[in-house]
Amino acid sequence: MQILHTMLRVGDLEKSIWFYTKTLGMKLLRQKDYPAGRFTLAFLGYASEEEGTVLELTYNWDTKNYDLGNGFGHIALGVGNIYETCASIKKNGGTVTREPGPMKHGTTIIAFIEDPDGYKIELIEISSRNLNQ
């Protein structure tokens, strides 16, 4: 078994695709409208769906925003240089909600950002050696 994707419901599909592609560097892998159900699915990732886990954005045409609830935590992304990554995110209009620094009670360097719908994304600095494993 393997994890195939994580799904998020979004209020503005184009804004969310822009954020994940331009701000976080993902690729739009596929997108399809389902007129009978009044929704659109978009799949994004750093690799193809065959090669890695991807993000599914679900846009329900008649819903502009969602209650994020208190059960969802965050998506985590590994990055090579967290300080440069956060600077780039800010330059592209993204919101850094926790600046890079050691996690509480630990030494791992983390930061948090938010996507256009308010979903939390944790950035974790990992060595370039670990990125290739």
Q: Is the pLDDT of residue 129 over 70?
A: no
Tens of pLDDT along 62-99?
A: 998 888 887 788 999 999 999 999 999 999 999 999 99
d(CA 119, CA 9) in angstroms, rounded, equals 10
Q: Per the confidence metrics, is the pTM higher than 0.85?
A: no
**Separation between Cα atoms, residue 41 and residue 56, nearest integer Å:** 7
| Residue 114 bears catalytic tag | no
Better-scored residue on pLDDT, 133 or 65? 65
Domain with residues 5-60, CATH architecture: Roll (3.10)
The domains spanning 5-60 and 75-131 adopt the same CATH topology: yes
Please determine, for residue 102, whether its predicted confidence score (pLDDT) is greater than 60: yes
Q: Which of 51, 99, 114, 122 is catalytic?
A: 122
1 pLDDT band (50/70/90 cuts)?
low
Per-domain boundaries in the chain: 5-60, 75-131
Q: What are all long-range contacts of 3-6, with beta carbons under 8 Å and residues at least 24 apart?
A: 3/53, 4/49, 4/53, 4/54, 5/43, 5/49, 5/53, 5/54, 5/55, 5/56, 6/53, 6/55, 6/56, 6/75
- Give the separation between CA 58 and CA 5, rounded to whole angstroms: 12
What CATH class does 75-131 carry?
alpha beta
Q: Dump pLDDT digits (tens) for 21-68.
A: 999 999 999 999 999 999 999 999 999 999 999 999 999 999 988 888
pLDDT of residue 18: 97
Which CA distances in Å does 128 have to 40, 79, 108, 132? 36, 8, 15, 7
DSSP, collapsed to helix, strand or coil, labels residue 62 as coil
